[in-house]
């Protein structure tokens, strides 16, 4: 018997060795937050009692992917494969689906009235004498969202024994905008090229498309605009629509609709017409036929995104029509099919001498009420262009009769490209929680865009994606958090960015508290650090011309005045800042009166927006008692110090996670420190050359001369479209 035992023990070891020996790939970030690695034994053991079998109602495509995701996730997290079952035979079943497709679920008689078409209930129940967890939607998609939520509970170490969760999205359209060209370039993309392999579509449907859909569905994203807003019309030709349809087929089970950016002048370019005038019957007929053609291939096609009359793009103004004329033409051809138009308000005219910050408001506000019901106005979070910090866009709250859709930038065009660790959650949260005051206190931007303030049923949030062919999707592991937080806030714009960061860290790295806490703190401080080392105190648009890389506050090389940093900071020997008060451009007047009054008064204006609204003398006394010049230098310096502190934090976390991701983050933080120092030094050197003031005591002078910083040039900057 002893021999037998010995043999068995040997067998155990051999088996263990052999199984361990299967080489697993190095961690490379491909799994994103859907990283279903085995939980700690005690945690897994707890969960196993509540995950013994899966009961799923029917075999629709969405239910199949729901089942697959649960099996995959639970197999990874708990280490066992859950059997599928039709009936509850013992404790711990997971029952997923809808009342309509599952008699078992119908029997539960759960109240799903309030959760809407995409919501879900997760509830610990007793069924046929056995405990079970019910994940129930009014639609298959709701149940899929619920399944991802259930997995997230396990991934983040939450209890699952007494669940009673009701969730539904606050915003109707939760959309990623891809700035992808058909040749594979991604404008302002820093994570490789486009993940759409147009050349091999529709014949080859890369598995990555499915993983993209899984990741999006897991955070509730339900739409994707496949191509850049400045693309040509080729995407609308039959050959390309077939490719689009293939992607739509892949995404459909995950509840993701496909949208396209369309070129206003397409009827001329590929339609053979002489005009694209939105009031021309031939033009309207061309678009109607095109819409019909698209919906024949893609019955659940989402609609069009349009950038018109902006930065050189064609638009209705070419024909002396309004934005409403243009948007409504598209709206009318899409309405019979249930599609929408997302019309961008990012317009400004270089012909106008007026403050660029004011132009979108002036253009669109008078049109409130003129847009058809399926038009959303997609508006960037701030009035300039996705800068590290801007006040909220004055259009939010100013067009009560029109659904305004938020556009956030997820890709870090102005925030250090791929390498800088900048978690955008606090930026998004700052904007969403801003109070427009248009209906009194509490009229937050979140309430404007979720439709609740004015009672719109159509609402939307778009994120300009940071996704590319890089193995880790986003160019760095921490950039994944920006995709994640965008999706979570689109689902519920009142969530806290810290809570979301913590979820993400646990799912992406580890539940080890010794790692989670410092990393969440580091993430939460990272955006303010970037503001400090790039554009503190309300400064913005100080970056290099065209490619937007690095500091160039001196730059006046751009053809257009309002593309030049000097247009924005207006520094002279007396002071710095853009006067947008009633003495200046009066941009403040575009806000609701209480906000306008606040921003109009230099003393009431929050210092984080100081130089955005005011031109202030260098010796202006800040709340700290120090001069503006002192605070400017101090902020720039603090930004660099913060990055050094992030490195220090990271150094202490070696060993908590896999070596591969640890090392890449460490290398990127080193790049960030170098570039933060460069930003600080170049900006201080430049502003000092204007102010003529000595550096405050204790602050190190720039490492190199202003001349040196001005001399740097950067060929082949990624993400810049002039390849």
> Which residues contribute to the site for a second copy (CB under 8 A)?
1, 4-5, 8-9, 11-12, 15-26, 30, 36-38, 72, 75-76, 78-80, 182-185, 192-193, 198-200, 203-205, 207, 234, 418-419, 469-471, 660, 664, 667-668, 670-671, 674, 715-718, 723
Question: Which CB, 129 or 715, lies closer to a second copy?
Answer: 715
CB-nearer residue toward a second copy: 198 or 364: 198
> Least Å distance between CB 431 and a second copy?
30
Minimum distance of a second copy from residue 708's CB (angstroms): 14
Q: Pick between residue 20 and residue 353 the one whose CB is nearest to a second copy.
A: 20
Least spacing, CB of residue 150 vs a second copy, in Å = 18
Structure tokens at 220: 């509730």
- The residues near 566 (Cβ < 8 Å, ≥ 6 apart) are 553, 554, 555, 556
Minimum CB distance to a second copy smaller for 379 or for 419: 419
Please pick, among 49, 293, 311, 648, the residue that the annotation labels catalytic.
Answer: 311
| Angle formed at CA 182 by CA 178 and CA 183, multiple of 5 degrees | 120
77 contacts 40 by C-beta, under 8 angstroms: no
- 8-state DSSP, 339: -
Task: Answer whether 161's CB lies under 8 Å from 80's CB.
Answer: no
By C-beta, is 76 or 426 nearer to a second copy? Answer: 76
Q: Encode 298-332 in three state secondary structure.
A: CCCCCEEEECCCCCCCCCHHHHCCCHHHHHHHHHH
Closest by CA to 236, choosing from 274, 266, 268, 259, is 266
Nearer to a second copy, 301 or 668 (CB): 668
Q: Which is nearer to a second copy, 599 or 720 (CB)?
A: 720
SS3 136: strand
What is each CA distance from 1 to 8, 11, 15, 398, 503, in whole angstroms? 10, 15, 21, 84, 51
> Quick one: which of 255, 373, 277 has its CA closest to 322?
277
Nearer to a second copy, 77 or 489 (CB): 77
- Whose tokens are 């509490």? That residue is 442
Query: Based on CB atoms, which residue is closest to a second copy, 193 or 370?
Result: 193
Could you tell me the smallest distance in angstroms from the CB atom of residue 716 to a second copy?
5
Q: Nearest to residue 35, comparing CAs of 593, 472, 345?
A: 472
Helix (H, G, I), strand (E, B) or coil at 178: coil
| Backbone angle region of 189, left / alpha / beta, with phi > 0 → left and psi within -120 to 50 → alpha | beta
Shortest Cβ 702–a second copy spacing (Å): 20
704, with CB counted inside 10 A (0-12, 13-18, 19+), is middle
CB-nearer residue toward a second copy: 524 or 666? 666
To the query of whether residue 311 is one of the catalytic residues in this protein, the response is yes
Q: Where are the alpha helices (DSSP H) in 170-271?
A: 207-218, 238-251, 266-269
Both tokens of 504, joined, read 């993400």
Compute the distance between CA of residue 194 and CA of residue 185 in angstroms, rounded to an integer.
Answer: 6
Cis peptide before 202 (omega within 30 of 0): yes
In the bound state with a second copy, the residue whose beta carbon lies nearer, of 36 and 212, is: 36
Counted residue by residue, the chain has a size of 723
Give me the catalytic one of 118, 413, 532, 673. Answer: 413
Q: Which of 118, 228, 277, 385 is catalytic?
A: 385
Alpha helices, H only, 401-459: 425-432, 445-449
Give me the sheet containing 130-137, strands edge to edge: 84-85, 53-56, 93-98, 130-137, 120-127, 164-167
What DSSP state is assigned to residue 291? Answer: H
Distance CA 141, CA 128 (A): 26
Quote the CA–CA distance of 40 and 157 in Å, as a whole number: 10
Task: Pick the closer one to a second copy by CB: 37 or 90.
Answer: 37
CB of 312 to a second copy, least distance (A): 20
Residue 631: C-alpha distances to residues 553, 621, 695, 700, 712 (Å): 18, 9, 11, 14, 27
- Measured from the CB atom, the residue of 106 and 671 that comes closer to a second copy is 671
What Å distances lie between residue 277 and 315, 326, 334, 368, 460, CA to CA? 9, 8, 17, 21, 28
* Closest distance of CB 486 from a second copy, Å: 24
User: Cα(560)–Cα(556) distance, rounded to whole angstroms?
Assistant: 9
136 Cβ neighbours under 8 A, 6+ residues apart: 95, 96, 97, 98, 99, 105, 108, 110, 112, 120, 121, 122, 123, 142, 143, 146
385 is catalytic: yes
413 has catalytic annotation: yes
Least distance from a second copy to the Cβ atom of residue 227, Å: 12
Handedness of CA 113, 117, 118, 120 (dihedral sign): positive
The answer to whether 315 and 264 have CB atoms below 8 angstroms apart is yes
- Min. distance of Cβ 237 from a second copy in angstroms? 9
- CA nearest 215: which of 116, 118, 73, 84? 73
Question: Residue 190 contacts by C-beta under 8 Å, 6 or more apart in sequence?
Answer: 411, 412, 417, 418, 466, 468, 475, 718, 719
Q: Return the active site residues.
A: 311, 385, 413
């Amino acid at each position: 018997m002893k021999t037998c035992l010995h043999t068995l023990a040997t067998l155990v070891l051999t088996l263990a060795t052999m199984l361990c020996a299967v080489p697993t790939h190095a961690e490379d970030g491909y799994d994103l937050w859907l990283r279903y690695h085995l939980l700690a034994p005690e945690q897994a053991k707890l969960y196993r009692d509540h995950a013994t079998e899966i009961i799923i109602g029917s075999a629709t495509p969405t239910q199949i992917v729901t089942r697959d995701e649960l099996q995959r996730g639970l197999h990874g997290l708990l280490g066992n494969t859950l059997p599928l079952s039709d009936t509850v035979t013992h404790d711990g079943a997971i029952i997923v689906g809808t009342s309509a497709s599952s008699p078992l679920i119908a029997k539960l008689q759960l109240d799903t009235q309030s959760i809407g078409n995409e919501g879900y209930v997760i509830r610990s129940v007793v069924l046929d004498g056995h405990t079970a967890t019910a994940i129930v939607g009014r639609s298959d998609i709701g149940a899929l969202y619920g399944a991802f939520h259930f997995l997230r509970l396990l991934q983040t170490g939450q209890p699952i024994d007494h669940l009673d969760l009701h969730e539904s999205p606050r915003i109707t359209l939760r959309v990623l905008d891809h700035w992808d060209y058909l040749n594979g370039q991604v404008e302002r993309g820093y994570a490789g090229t486009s993940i759409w392999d147009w050349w091999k579509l529709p014949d080859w449907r890369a598995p990555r498309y499915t993983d993209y859909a899984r990741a999006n569905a897991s955070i509730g994203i339900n739409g994707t605009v496949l191509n850049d807003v400045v693309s040509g019309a080729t995407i609308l030709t039959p050959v390309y629509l077939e490719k689009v349809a293939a992607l739509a087929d892949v995404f459909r089970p995950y509840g993701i609709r496909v949208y396209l950016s369309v070129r206003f002048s397409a009827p001329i370019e590929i339609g053979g017409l002489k005009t694209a005038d939105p009031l021309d019957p031939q033009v309207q007929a061309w678009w109607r036929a095109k819409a019909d053609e698209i919906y024949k291939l893609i019955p659940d096609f989402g609609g069009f995104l349009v950038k018109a009359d902006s930065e050189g793009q064609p638009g209705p103004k070419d024909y002396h029509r309004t934005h409403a004329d243009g948007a409504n033409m598209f709206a009318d051809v899409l309405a019979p099919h249930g599609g929408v138009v997302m019309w961008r308000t990012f317009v400004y005219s270089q012909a106008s001498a007026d403050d660029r910050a004011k132009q979108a408001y002036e253009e669109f506000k008078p049109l409130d009420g003129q847009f058809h019901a399926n038009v959303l106005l997609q508006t960037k979070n701030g009035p300039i262009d996705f800068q590290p910090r801007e006040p909220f866009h004055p259009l939010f709250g100013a067009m009560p009769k029109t659904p305004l859709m938020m556009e956030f930038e997820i890709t870090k065009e102005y925030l250090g490209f791929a390498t800088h660790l900048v978690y955008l959650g606090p930026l998004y949260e700052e904007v969403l929680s801003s109070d427009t005051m248009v209906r009194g206190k509490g009229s937050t931007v979140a309430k404007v865009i979720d439709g609740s303030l004015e009672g719109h049923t159509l609402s939307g949030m778009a994120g300009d994606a940071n996704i590319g062919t890089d193995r880790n999707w986003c160019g760095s592991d921490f950039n994944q958090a920006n995709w994640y937080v965008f999706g979570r806030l689109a689902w519920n714009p009142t969530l806290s960015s810290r809570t979301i960061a913590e979820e993400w860290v646990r799912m992406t790295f580890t539940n080890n508290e010794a790692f989670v806490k410092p990393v969440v703190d580091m993430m939460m401080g990272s955006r303010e650090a970037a503001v400090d080392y790039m554009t503190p105190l309300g400064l913005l648009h100080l970056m290099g011309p065209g490619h937007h890389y690095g500091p160039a506050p001196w730059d006046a090389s751009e053809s257009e005045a309002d593309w030049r940093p000097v247009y924005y900071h207006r520094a002279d020997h007396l002071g710095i800042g853009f006067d947008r008060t009633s003495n200046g451009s009066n941009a403040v007047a575009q806000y609701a009166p209480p906000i306008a009054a606040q921003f109009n008064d230099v003393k009431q204006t929050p210092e984080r927006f100081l130089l955005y609204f005011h031109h202030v003398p260098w010796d202006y006394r800040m709340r700290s008692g120090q001069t503006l010049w002192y605070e400017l230098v101090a902020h720039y310096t603090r930004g660099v110090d913060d990055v050094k502190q992030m490195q220090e934090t990271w150094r202490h976390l070696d060993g908590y996670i896999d070596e591969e991701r640890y090392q890449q983050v460490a290398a990127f933080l080193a790049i960030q420190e170098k570039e933060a120092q460069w930003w600080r030094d170049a900006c201080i050197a430049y502003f000092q050359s204007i102010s003529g003031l000595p550096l405050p005591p204790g602050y190190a002078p720039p490492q190199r001369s202003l001349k040196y910083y001005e001399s740097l040039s950067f060929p082949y900057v990624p993400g810049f479209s002039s390849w």
